Amino acid sequence: MLGVFLDRDSLDCGDLDFSGLDRILPDLRYYPVTASDQVATRIAEAEVVVSNKVMLDAAALRGAPRLRLICIAATGVNNVDRAAAASRGVTVCNCRGHVTPAVVQHVFALLLALVTRLPDYRRAVREGRWQRADQFCLLDFPIRELAGKTLGIVGHGELGRGVARIAEAFGMRVLIAQRPGAVEEEEGRVPLPILLPQVDVLSLHCPLTPETRGLIGAWELALMRRDAILINTARGGLVDEALLADALRQGALGGAGVDVLSLEPPTADNPLLAADIPNLIVTPHCAWGSRESRQRLIGQLAENIAGFLSGSPVRVVS
């Protein structure tokens, strides 16, 4: 079967082993990147298409009559017109669970940096403030402990559960938010308006859907404590970025750590990229990107293709 991998450079830094994938599909052509105007040509004869973030819309799928399988090199499949794929009998598979250790680790890297004021203390040393201090230590920035604090989690899938386990190891109390859009009360979950005033930390792990877009806006930010910290490693569109920037500037929120923005790569005028926002850490959608995580992804792509070829597809997106 002829296959194409449309955006290998989106996950490969020259440090991954693709031999398992190549054994399953020897006729797999790799492209470092694929622009939107190149998609139709590159998939025209393909039976298998692998894509991380390249858009596969209805028009592109119509021009690929031999296509049988789409493998998304990620969990989210919003870059595929699934209805168009289904109408053509094309199976869509994704990857799942491969990023959990890396993302959970990144959540706490952001959180620990914020509660210990690590960027501020690092800058203080570089600026010579410790060297000029009257005492043996510098305590210019308030340090907080996680033990005894309350963590609220929105999205209690594998990632949310992983974050909860580590939070409990730190001695934190964990509250799980009710699913956005849920009509009936869910056992063990707290409605967001009741959860927000209670939490010291809010960590987002839900998908971006019509129900969750703009989930954290003016009303939600106003419900949170002034010293609360927001962590978003899920999707940028969950949070109103301009309002978050204003809340941090005004001291209405204690801090924020975000690994995702509403447009990626972002434009220079994104509200969260301004230089005057205090207690904010922005990282470039890299939480998932450990070498181990990316290698697990390659392994899952190979499993997905092998399963399809054997007549027993796995990780099929319904």
Strand partners, 51: 72
From CA 79, how far away is CA 275, in angstroms rounded? 32
Catalytic, out of 235, 294, 296, 315: 235
Active site residue 45: no
Active site residue 264: yes
Strand, helix or coil at 198?
helix
Catalytic, out of 226, 264, 291, 292: 264
Active site residue 184: no
Catalytic, out of 82, 173, 213, 285: 285
From CA 186, how far away is CA 25, in angstroms rounded? 44
Burial pattern 19-35, b for ≥16 Cβ within 10 A else e, equals eebeebbeebebbeebe
Q: Judge whether 159 and 100 are in contact, CB under 8 Å.
A: yes
Alpha helices in the chain (DSSP H): 19-24, 39-43, 58-62, 82-87, 100-115, 118-126, 158-169, 192-195, 218-223, 241-249, 291-309
Return the active site residues.
Answer: 235, 264, 285
